[in-house]
Amino acid sequence: MLTDVSGRFVKIALSGVDIDIHLERGRSCRPPARFNRKGQDALYLSPNEESARVAIGQYVVEGGPPRGLFTFEVDYCKLFDLRNPQAAPVYEDARQPWQCELEAERIPRSWGAADELRNAGHLGLIDPSRRRPGLWHITLFRWNEPGAPSVRMVGNPRPIEIIPNYR
Select from 2.40.10, 3.30.70, 2.60.40, 3.90.175 the CATH code of 2-160: 3.90.175
Q: Give the SS3 label for residue 119.
A: helix
Q: Which tens digit of pLDDT belongs to each residue from 17-32? A: 766 788 999 999 999 9
Give ∠ CA 9-126-21 in degrees, rounded to 5: 45
Q: Give the SS3 label for residue 79.
A: strand
Give me the residue spans of the domains in the chain: 2-160
Find, among 123, 115, 152, 104, the residue nearest to 34 by Cα.
115
Q: How confident is the model at residue 33 (pLDDT cuts 50, 70, 90)?
A: very high
Q: For the whole model, what pTM was predicted?
A: 0.93
Q: Which tens digit of pLDDT belongs to each residue from 47-60? A: 999 999 999 877 77
Residue 62, pLDDT > 90, answer: no
Question: What pLDDT is stored for residue 165 in this prediction?
Answer: 67
